[in-house]
Structure 1
Amino acid sequence: MSATQVGSQLYSGQQHGREKNPGHPLGDEIYDALLADLISLRIPPGERLSVDALARHFTVSQTPIRAALIRLESEGLVIQKFNSGFSAAPLPEGRYFRDTYAFREMIEPELAMLAASRVTPEDIIALEELCTEMSCLAAESRPDNFGAFAERDNAFHTRITLIAGNQVAAEALSRLYIHSNLFRLRYHSTITTSAVSEHLEILDALRQKDAESARNLMRRHIGHSRERVEPFFTETENFPENQHYSGASNAQSGPEEHDDT
């Protein structure tokens, strides 16, 4: 397990609109590392997460490990079953992703419109850098680039939400982006230049402070994104019941095993 690698800053609490806890920096690092491994599927869905083994791996006590796992459980990425410890959550089902895109199509266009009136030159530079990095990753056309591409994709959308000034929306959407990454890595890990072009159009509208165009372009972009992955939704709906969940942290439980964690 590669959890020794501290998670990318694109997946850090600050990037997702969450405040880091200055009193528990070690716990934050463990959370970031586990989050990065869950999102990248280096920790596969369903894999058991032994608190004792993780504590030895990180050479820390069990307390920060449990804190990180409970935090991940609250985000629907880890499940805890009575007398069997923690495990990585199964992949969400197709219905959950349809609901995710419906929610995004309602919320994100309005946030883009608000962001157009609040965006600063520094924000534009940050968004430009993300678009440039996505373009470079797309140009290389390597399958193993998708994780990095998805990170920047999520960071682009998160940045716009934060520019709009809605912390609650940023926190809600960040969770949806994480779950979307899990789906895309499993079923549709293809980098599309169309997504980059659509981001550049949104960026140009923000640069021009054209609120109406920003809203319309974001709505179109999310619609196109949904169309690109929708054919894969039915694959998850054909899973056995214990192989998927609805996105809630109290996911469906399978057969219990005893774990001395």
Structure 2
Amino acid sequence: MPIGSTGRPAATRQVLADHVYDELMVALVDGRLGAGEPLNIDALSREMQLSQTPIREALARLESTGLVVREALKGYRVAPLFSAVELDELMDARSVLEPENAFRACAESATELIPQLERSIRDLAEFKDNQSSSIRPYWQADERFHRLIAEGAKNRFLLSAYTALGGHVQRFRLFGGLGVSDADFAIAEHTDILTAFQAGEAELAREKMADHIAMVKHRAISDEAHLHA
């Protein structure tokens, strides 16, 4: 389960914690960190060639998303995959939050976001045409689309709520045993949202994001059912 080392000069504690957080996120998505696997702080510190402080901070952030759990006297371990009920609740939370993000981002930041949203869709299409064993590029392109919109809403509390959900990783962890099957749907739905941004139609952006999250919820629950069939 090599996570990797920074290979970088000393940086601020926050930057290092962010780096650890991102690396662990990717390891959760691509299956290197499986459900129930222990996350030993000493071992991660040696492996990533960092002090324990940014490791602890990153794990605490991941715990707040439900991606890792901490047990008394045992430390951290990777959380189990979400059940159908948990996925349903997560997607309901996204359906409340993300359409509002889309509405605000379209009204506040449409012009600056359009080329970045276009790029993320092109990256999704490139993955679909050249799929590899790793779903990392697909997850990163998909998550980037939604994060750009969350950041474009220009509300720190909405952004914090979006980040805390950890919705993309919880969803993409299911792909580890199934492979990516919904690239065509994601591309089409993201394109509908982009079209609303291009037209400057904030209410339409809200509507198209709501439609997209509803379809993601349907596909996520279907994936969870296949894993337990």
Q: TM range, normalised to the smaller chain?
A: 0.7 to 0.9
Q: Which has the larger displacement, 26-35 or 77-86?
A: 26-35
- 1:41 partnered with 2:15: no
Distance in 2 between the 1:62 and 1:219 partners?
A: 41
1:198 aligns with 2:184: no
Partner of 1:17: none
Residue 50 of structure 1: how far off its partner (Å):
1.9
Q: Could you tell me which residue of structure 2 aligns to residue 81 of structure 1?
A: 71
Q: Is the 8 A contact 1:94 1:235 kept in 2?
A: no
CA deviations 1:176-201 (Å, max 9, x no partner) are: 22222223434563242121011112
Q: What SS is found at the alignment partner of 1:91?
A: coil
SS of 2:92 mapped into structure 1: helix
Q: 1:25 to 1:202 in 2, by over 3 A?
A: closer
Shift of 1:143: 5.5
1:168 alignment partner, one of 150, 157, 174: 157
Give the superposed CA RMSD. 2.5
Count of aligned pairs: 223
Match of 2:83 among 81, 93, 98: 93
Higher-helix-fraction structure: 2
Residue of 123, 132, 138 corresponding to 1:133: 123
Following superposition of structure 1 onto structure 2, how do residues 54-133 of structure 1 map, counting pairs within 5 Å? Answer: 54-133=44-123
- Supply the distance in 2 between the matched residues of 1:143 and 1:184 (Cα, whole angstroms): 13
Unaligned runs of 5+ in 1: 7-20, 240-261
Closer/same/farther in 2, CA of residues 4 and 212 from structure 1, 3 Å limit:
same
Q: Which residue of 2 aligns with 1:2?
A: 2
Query: Normalising to structure 2: TM-score of the pair?
Result: 0.85
Equivalents in 1 of 2:178, 2:16: separation in Å?
A: 33
| Identity, % of aligned positions | 29
d(CA) in 1 for partners of 2:115, 2:136 = 23
State whether residues 143 and 189 of structure 1, in contact with CA within 8 Å, keep that contact through their aligned partners in structure 2: no
Amino acid at match of 1:88: V
- The 1:104–1:52 alpha-carbon spacing in structure 2 relative to 1, beyond 3 Å, is closer
Partner of 2:199: 208
> How far apart are 1:65 and its partner, in Å?
2.7
